[in-house]
Amino acid sequence: TNMTVGKFREILTGINSSNNDTRNAAEKEYEEVPLVNRFMLLVEILSTQEQCLQTSTLAAILLRRIITSSYNESFGQMDADMQPKLRAQVIDCIKQETNSVLRRKKADCLSELARKSIDANGNNHWPEVLTFMFGCVNSTDPGMKEIPLHVFSQFPGIFGNQQDHYQNVIRQMLGQCMMASEQPSIRFLAAQATMAFLLTNTASNQLLRHFQELMPAVIQAAEDSASEDKDVVLKSLVELCEDAPKVVRPFVEPLLTTCLKVLGNAELENSIRQLALEAIVTLSETAPGLIRKQKAIIPIIIPQMLALMIDLDEDEDALAEWSVADDAEDEEGDANTVAGENAIDRFACALGGKTILPHIMSTVPPMLQNEDWRYRHGGLMAISAVGEGCHKYMEEILEQIVNAVLPYLNDAHPRVRYAACNATGQMCTDFAPTIQKQCHARIVPSLCNVLDDVANPRVQAHAGAALVNFVEDCPKSILLLYLNPLCMKLEQVLSTQIQELVQKGTKLVLEQITTTIAAVADTAEEKFILFYDRFMPSLKYIMANAKSNELRMLRGKTIECISLIGLAVGSEKFMPDAEEIMQQLLATQENIESWQDDDPQISYMISAWTRICKLLGQKFVQYLPVVMGPLMKAASIKPEVTMLDSQDAEDLDENDGWEFIKLGGQQSFGIKTAGLEEKSTACEMLVCYARELKEGFVDYVEDVVKLMVPLLKFYFHDGVRSSASEALPYLLECAALRGEEYVDRIWTYIAPHLLSAVKDEPDKDVLTSSMESLAKCIELRGRGSFSMEQYQELTQIIQTMLNQHFDRAAERQMKRADEDYDEQIEETLQDEDQEDVYILSKVADILHSLFGVLRAEVLPLFDVLLPHYAKLLESDRPWADRQWSLCVFDDVIEYASPESIKYQDVFVRPLITYIEDESPEVRQAAAYGVGVMASCASETYYAAITESIPRLKRVIEGPHGRGVQNQPLAHENLAPLENCISAVGKILRHCPAILGSEAAVAQLLQLWLSWLPVTEDKEEAAHVYRFVCDLIESNNQVVLGENNSNLPAVISLIADAVYGEAFEECADVAERLIVVCKQIQMSATECWNNSLSQLDIPKLQSLNNFLSSH
């Protein structure tokens, strides 16, 4: 098209119009102009002087957008002789521009054009741009001098592969521009450019060292720009602290001092002060060891944070308004109080309690004694905020802290009472269940008193919320002590608040109290039956009558409360009301099409259905046709996503629910987060239906599989991906009703996606969940799980995981050599180590499933992994590595013998040695391995078993076993001990010939019986007592004694096993032992009665219960 510049200018004017129709028509015309022409026309407009500023600004924005997102389709399509002309025009239009804002917008276009002019090898195809920049730096016009700095901070890679060559020049240019004699705007831009350049080159230690000398000038520029209420330098400084803390390291003191100076200056804008605080907190998170060393500065930082927290509105009107607000959301999101609270929370989590708590203990108590309520409020909020970070150290003095906080629930000022509720509730969450066990007698009555504060609904509701925190993690036995008075109080508040709603329309306390009742019912379980009839009529009344829009949240919470009570008391008590409640829910559900997407009832409804499904079991299937529609709709929510130019992204308000992630270059990825939590809840519910309803869910399997499988890669929400993988094995079980061919078709669709999800999953928690599902699916599908290619792919995935395991362990060793390494960093490294070990355990689970299904056919695949498992088994590896390697070799012995003998040189010697290892977990895995050798491959491993017997005896009779006199065995030693006893039992049962003579067998058997009972490890208990039954039923003389003289010992042995609940996994053994007991009762009644009279009362009771219940 040959559109004239004049016509094109008219289109741009139209786009700027405030009239919607004009603007829409102009935008349509603009989009119809081919990209190549659009590019040229925009450059033309920018090159013409004395334009309308608004039109020129829009042209610059649109040109930058085309360069970032459609470069190849526009500039890339032009003739070779046209491109240099346009580039020259871009430079010229900047030179001619007199308006500084527009000049920068034009320079943005130049930055992006320069970015696109550097090829993959770093060659710059636009050398004139550098000539232009160097010319500008030396310009006497400050407006022009800004341009190269602006361009360089937008695109620090502008020098391409010539960067090393220009390194000194760049450093001098930046240094010169930051000299004190330079204009502030130039200094600030130069500081930004310096930091942008450092951030782009964090991988080059040589360059970072080279440029470190510029940091004092950068820090000075940050201070000076802050004093002019400009935020850009501080924003860059925060980024530097986040992504390149090592650059800041030598200048940590001046940096912290400067930030504290800005933070402490109340004359400045709050947003500026908060940025200075953000820099401090961010650096404490990225370099905690470094900040912990600043022993002189930490005592200054904490009071500054606390000072922000007391920046509250004092006036009486504001207080009156606050007290009775019917909406719990504070409008003070950006207030200093919130910033201070978040900062002290993060600071404590970053540096740990050992560093932070002493300062809190010295600064907060005087605040709590202050006459000014704002100090008391701040002190209490600080206690809430540091609980997570100082957990270990606060727990040691928990009662002292609780006793300091609770009196403020009676403070004269309502906002202090509110803060005391906040601190109490937060501590109930952070220190559960310790706080519930230690302090229940003070906390429950104190919070119940605050529920009477009817003059201050905000405080009253917050007491109800704190009770939820107390009750949710409270041991049931403790809650039952208060159930009666607590429920009476809640019933009283509920009925008063229903009247308030009817008379005044206020709902805040009512919404909260329904949640509190729900939490109490959830913890009290069946004991809540006593109060069911006192609450249910009122709750049903709310559900039936809360129909208006502003009561949707109340109705949702009431639905949640009713369903939780139902689940607590069980279907028998709930059934009379269930039908009426279901009808109400169904009626609500039918109008779902007219619901607004943000209706809070939706997620409550979805969860309520799921609880009712658990209650009704298969009876729930009849409701599925109504329930599944909205559930599938919610689970199918597709979030709005967009790719934007980073500058455009800044213009979109995050309050509108957009979140942005900066990608490379100047691109930002945006996602609208509305509906994501609801989607996640819906996916969890689908997992629940599949799990609970089994074949009752078969009609929905196909649709749900088609929905869930793509969600394995839904990277916007971890919970959605976890649910997607968790659902798959349950869905396979549901599908079984339709026959093998149907299941096979569904699995063929799932398999490649599940493998791919495990391979690509970035989050460790989600990864372990996907691995668990994969292992379950392999067990369900059996031999036909995968094609050969897929088995090989799985082997490669596992190999990569094992390589990463070794790499990460090596990285942690490197961090231990770092100059800032300290005990808190060691704690972090230990946590990372545990995450890695958990993944290692899930790899073992997958291999366990494979061996269980394919047996020795897995060995060719396992050969690929063998070197890794050999390495994990080496004596210098951490105990967890050796444990999980042994577990895998235990499976190799159990499922792949006699072929497993080919690996004997790798694992037999370590396995025998590790029977006596210092680590209980390693001893257990080794002893289990000997047991497996005896029961599955005794001929193959004859020599190894023989050599193991004295070692097993030494453990059993030594300090980690029965050798401990007069004191209970440490719990961690119990399972390994029982595995050793069980292993000896398996030798006696499956390969006694190894012992050489009958006398040797009898001697070991006598000893073995003296080591019983085995009750902790239920799986091994099943093997042990199955063998005991065999021995008794075959009238074994060693067990029964001559003329049955050992019967009292046999009765005692059975009583010990019953008392220890040893038969959880072997009902068949329980039945056999009952027959034995009844025979003894009949044939040796006197002996039976005497033996029972010798038992202590708990054992006697459990034996009697055992005999009467079967």
Contact assessment for residue 367 and residue 306, using Cβ atoms and an 8 Å cutoff:
yes
Q: What is the pLDDT of residue 595?
A: 61
Q: Which of 962, 981, 1011 is the last residue of a domain?
A: 1011
pLDDT band with cut points at 50, 70 and 90 for residue 314 = confident
What does the DSSP 8-state code read for residue 969? P
Q: What is the dihedral of CA 234, 235, 241, 244, to 10 degrees?
A: -120
Give the total number of structural domains in the chain. Answer: 8
pLDDT beyond 70 at 664:
no
**How many residues in total does the chain contain?**
1110
Q: What is the mean pLDDT of residues 62-84?
A: 93
Q: How far apart are CA 399 and CA 357, in angstroms?
A: 15
Same domain, 595 and 714: yes
Average the pLDDT over 421-439 and give the result.
Answer: 96
pLDDT above 70 covers what percent of the chain? 96
Q: Rounded to whole angstroms, what are the CA distances from 777 to 746, 748, 792, 892?
A: 12, 12, 17, 20
Q: Decide if 315 is inside a domain.
A: no
Report pLDDT for 575.
Answer: 87
Q: How many CB atoms lie within 10 A of CB 543?
A: 22
**Shared domain check, 936 and 864:** yes
Task: Specify if 306 maps to a domain.
Answer: no
> Has residue 133 been placed in a domain?
no
Q: Please indicate, yes or no, whether residues 858 and 966 belong to a single structural domain of this protein.
A: yes
Angle CA 374–375–381, to nearest 5: 90
Judgement on whether residues 735 and 610 belong to the same structural domain of the protein: yes
Same domain as 388, residue 409 = no
Assess whether pLDDT exceeds 60 at residue 747. yes
- Decide: 103 and 143 in contact? Cβ < 8 Å: yes
Which residues on adjacent β-strands are paired with residue 662?
668
CB 989 within 8 A of CB 1030: yes
Any idea what DSSP says for residue 139?
-
Shared domain check, 1092 and 1045: yes
Residue 654 has pLDDT above 70, yes or no: no
The pLDDT of residue 829 is above 70: yes
Statement: residue 648 has pLDDT above 80? no
Q: Do 568 and 597 lie in a common domain?
A: no
868 lies in a domain? yes
Neighbours of 964 (CB within 10 A): 14
DSSP one-letter code for 970: P
What is the tens place of the pLDDT at every residue in 1034-1080?
A: 999 999 999 899 999 999 999 999 999 999 888 999 999 999 999 99
Residues β-bridged to residue 660: 670
Q: Residues with Cβ < 8 Å from 693, sequence gap 6 or more?
A: 613, 617, 618, 620, 621, 624, 734
Do 278 and 194 fall into the same domain? yes
Q: Cα–Cα distance between 523 and 474 in angstroms, integer?
A: 7
Cβ pair 1021, 1027 in contact under 8 A: no
Q: What are the tens digits of pLDDT across the range 153-187?
A: 999 999 999 999 999 999 999 999 999 999 999 99
Q: What is the mean pLDDT of residues 17-27?
A: 93
Within-domain flag for 1089: yes
Helices 1018-1033 + 1067-1083 axis angle, to 10: 40
118 secondary structure, DSSP code: B
Instruction: Mark whether 492 and 356 lie in a shared domain.
Output: no
Where does the pLDDT of residue 49 fall: very low under 50, low under 70, confident under 90, or very high at 90 and above?
A: confident
pLDDT grade for 146, boundaries at 50, 70 and 90 = very high
CA distance 480 to 477: 5
Q: Are 850 and 900 within one domain?
A: yes
User: The domain that contains 1004 carries what CATH number?
Assistant: 1.25.10
Which of the four pLDDT bands, split at 50, 70 and 90, describes residue 522?
very high
Q: Which of 335-339, 348-352, 402-406, 593-597 has the lowest mean pLDDT?
A: 593-597
Q: So what's the pLDDT on residue 663?
A: 66
Backbone angles phi, psi at 659, to 5 degrees: -125, 140
Domain endpoint, select from 396, 414, 430? 396
What H or E segment, with its residue span, contains residue 172? helix 163-177
Q: Is residue 118 part of a domain?
A: no
Contact between residue 598 and residue 551 where contact means Cβ atoms under 8 Å apart = no
In the beta sheet, which residues pair with residue 77?
Answer: none
Global confidence as pTM: 0.82
pLDDT value at 591 more than 70: no
Q: Which of 171-185, 579-593, 764-778, 853-867 has the lowest mean pLDDT?
A: 579-593
What's the CA gap between 644 and 68, in Å, rounded?
A: 9
Amino acid residing at 393? Y
Residues 6+ apart with CB under 8 A from 32: none
> Which residue, 474, 507, 532, sits at the end of a domain?
474
| Res. 1010: pLDDT tops 70 | yes
CA 215 – CA 190 distance, rounded (Å): 11
Residue 22 lies in a domain: yes
* pLDDT attached to residue 329: 67
Q: Report pLDDT digits (tens) over 985-1006.
A: 999 999 999 999 999 999 999 9
Per the CB < 8 A criterion, the answer to whether 502 and 453 are in contact is no
Domain that holds residue 812: 806-1011
Predicted pLDDT at 822: 87
Q: Give the whole-angstrom CA distance, residue 151 versus residue 146.
A: 9
Q: Is residue 970 part of a domain?
A: yes
Q: How far apart are CA 715 and CA 728, in angstroms?
A: 18
Q: Which 3 state secondary structure label does DSSP give 1012?
A: coil
Mean pLDDT of 386-401: 95
Whether the Cβ atoms of residue 197 and residue 211 lie closer than 8 Å to each other: yes
Mean pLDDT of the chain: 93
Can you give the pLDDT at residue 670? 78
Same domain for 192 and 338, yes or no, is no
Rounded Cα distance between 78 and 277, Å, is 50
Kindly state whether residues 184 and 231 are assigned to the same domain.
yes
**Beta strand pairing status for 658-662 and 667-672?**
antiparallel
pLDDT, tens digit, for every residue of 790-819?
Answer: 999 999 999 999 999 999 999 999 999 988
Whether the predicted pLDDT of 647 surpasses 70: no
Better-scored residue on pLDDT, 614 or 723: 723
